[in-house]
């Protein structure tokens, strides 16, 4: 329950006077009404949202053949520091330095050193950004925020949904950046052994973006999403779970580029428009409501807008003060 400062409900003349004095200093008083049943009640227990937050490989029966998950924006360390380069480094210097790091920390040559795998993954994430002219420009200007939702959660080595799998088939690298084929680099570094060990490749992953209204986020929605592949533009109806927020990446399995080992995935970056009336705070919705002096001191019913329409909570006498919060 939201906290609030109460004036006594049984008001003596002196107490009533003090309440009036307090209210006069901030008139018109404003009541902050917190909570939206549609967002708080529907998003929290949503099985679709739970599926969206599952790690890869998790069960998501509700989505059938499509697996959906979400990641937050990366908080990786400085990419230039990761590679040991100045910000003025040329493209050639970036590539040479990455080759050095890749050889030094490659998981197949450091199987007993788990830290080497982390350093290798961090160097690869840095290279993916700094070797791409547009991404590097955005990163130099805005830092990690300039990369939008492209980064994954968890820090270095987990951005862009990338990962390595040192299983029985040898080291395999997977990147969600469709502009960088790191496996070709590793073949150059290790004499082409990687290709023979890996076998058929998955298709590349693709990226797109959707913009949602707060009303859509509150209840979940099915949206028509378009994205580009080598074969052209594709469009599909994608279920968007309730409760998503700006910066999340939704992954739809099997909707990327075609490949011998199966298609890649589609990553959908979420953006939520600012609302002219409501402000979101996690699963809660806040709206400012003005009260008259009489309503603040004596109580009564106040009409409050919500995402589901108007509500009319009953305010007890003296129960609110400027900027206090209550729920309809």
CATH number of the domain encompassing residue 115: 1.10.287.110
Listed in sequence order, the DSSP H helices in the chain are 13-24, 42-43, 47-52, 79-83, 91-105, 114-130, 133-142, 182-189, 193-198, 214-219, 293-298
Share of the chain above pLDDT 70, in %: 57
- 1: in domain: no
Residue 158 has pLDDT above 60, yes or no: no
Residue 152 has pLDDT above 60, yes or no: no
- 6: in domain: no
- 84: in domain: yes
Residue 11 has pLDDT above 50, yes or no: no
What does the block give as tokens for 144?
Answer: 């990690």
Domain boundary among 149, 168, 198: 198
The domain in which residue 210 lies consists of 41-68+205-272
Q: How many CA atoms lie within 13 A of 44 on its CB side?
A: 9
Residue 199 has pLDDT above 80, yes or no: no
Domain boundary among 198, 221, 237: 198
Same domain, 209 and 247: yes
Three-state secondary-structure class, residue 51: helix
pLDDT average, residue stretch 59-85: 53
Give residue 280's pLDDT.
86
- 218: in domain: yes
pLDDT average, residue stretch 131-156: 67
Give residue 156's pLDDT.
35
Same domain, 232 and 300: no
Range with lowest mean pLDDT among 74-83, 136-145, 256-265, 308-317: 74-83
Which residue has tokens 């693709």?
A: 206
Q: How many CA atoms lie within 13 A of 127 on its CB side?
A: 26
Same domain, 83 and 192: yes
55/208: higher pLDDT: 208
Q: What is the DSSP string of 247-304?
A: T-EEEETT-S---TT----EEEEEEEPPPSS-EEETTEEEEEEEE-HHHHHH-EE--E
Same domain, 88 and 63: no
Residue 43 has pLDDT above 60, yes or no: no
Residue 127 has pLDDT above 60, yes or no: yes
pLDDT average, residue stretch 136-146: 79
Q: What pLDDT digit, counting tens, does each position of 270-289 carry?
A: 999 999 888 888 878 888 88
Residue 115 has pLDDT above 80, yes or no: yes
- 73: in domain: no
Average pLDDT over the chain, rounded to whole?
Answer: 68
Same domain, 32 and 46: no
Same domain, 103 and 173: yes
Give residue 20's pLDDT.
53
Here the CATH number for the domain that contains residue 252 is 2.60.260.20
Q: pTM for the full model?
A: 0.42
Same domain, 164 and 94: yes
Among positive and negative, which fits the CA dihedral 35, 39, 42, 44?
negative
240/160: higher pLDDT: 240
What does the block give as tokens for 22?
Answer: 């307090």
Q: What pLDDT digit, counting tens, does each position of 214-273 carry?
A: 989 888 889 999 998 888 889 989 898 888 888 888 888 888 888 888 888 889 999 999
Residue 60 has pLDDT above 70, yes or no: no
Domain boundary among 198, 217, 246: 198
Distance CA 239, CA 166 (A): 33
Give residue 13's pLDDT.
52
Three-state secondary-structure class, residue 95: helix
- 86: in domain: yes
Range with lowest mean pLDDT among 14-28, 156-170, 299-313: 156-170
- 7: in domain: no
Give residue 173's pLDDT.
44
Task: Tell me the pLDDT band of 49, cut-offs 50, 70 and 90.
Answer: very low
Share of the chain above pLDDT 90, in %: 7
Give residue 180's pLDDT.
47
- 74: in domain: no
pLDDT average, residue stretch 118-145: 84
Query: Domain tally for the chain?
Result: 3
Same domain, 192 and 86: yes
Q: State the burial class of residue 183 (Cβ atoms within 10 Å of its Cβ: 0-12, 13-18, 19+).
A: middle
């Amino acid at each position: 329950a939201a906290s609030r400062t109460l004036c006594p409900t049984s008001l003596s003349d002196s107490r009533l006077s003090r309440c009036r004095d307090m209210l006069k200093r901030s008139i018109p008083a404003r009541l902050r009404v917190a909570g939206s049943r549609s967002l708080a009640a529907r998003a929290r227990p949503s099985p679709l949202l739970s599926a969206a937050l599952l790690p890869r490989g998790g069960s998501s029966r509700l989505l059938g053949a499509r697996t959906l998950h979400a990641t937050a924006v990366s908080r990786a360390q400085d990419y230039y520091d990761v590679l040991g380069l100045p910000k003025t480094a040329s493209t050639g210097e970036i590539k040479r330095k990455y080759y050095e790091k890749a050889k030094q920390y490659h998981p197949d040559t450091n199987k007993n050193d788990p830290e080497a795998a982390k350093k290798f993954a961090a160097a690869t994430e840095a290279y993916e950004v700094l070797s791409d002219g547009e991404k590097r420009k955005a990163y130099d200007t805005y830092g990690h925020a300039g990369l939008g939702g492209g980064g994954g959660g968890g820090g270095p080595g987990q951005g862009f949904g990338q990962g390595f799998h040192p299983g029985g088939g040898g080291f395999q690298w997977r990147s969600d950046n469709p502009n960088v084929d790191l496996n070709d680099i590793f073949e150059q570094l290790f004499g082409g052994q990687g290709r023979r060990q890996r076998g058929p490749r998955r298709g590349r992953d693709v990226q797109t973006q959707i913009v949602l209204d707060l009303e859509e986020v509150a209840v979940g929605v099915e949206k028509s999403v378009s994205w580009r592949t080598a074969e052209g533009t594709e469009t599909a109806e994608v279920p968007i779970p309730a409760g998503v927020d700006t910066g999340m990446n939704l992954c739809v399995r099997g909707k990327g580029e075609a490949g011998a080992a199966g298609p890649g995935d589609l990553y959908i970056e979420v953006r939520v428009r600012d609302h002219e009336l409501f402000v979101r705070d996690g699963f809660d919705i806040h709206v400012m409501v003005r009260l008259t002096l009489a309503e603040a001191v004596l109580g009564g019913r106040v009409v409050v807008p919500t995402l589901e329409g108007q509500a009319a909570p009953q305010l007890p006498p003296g129960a609110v003060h400027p900027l206090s919060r209550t729920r309809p």
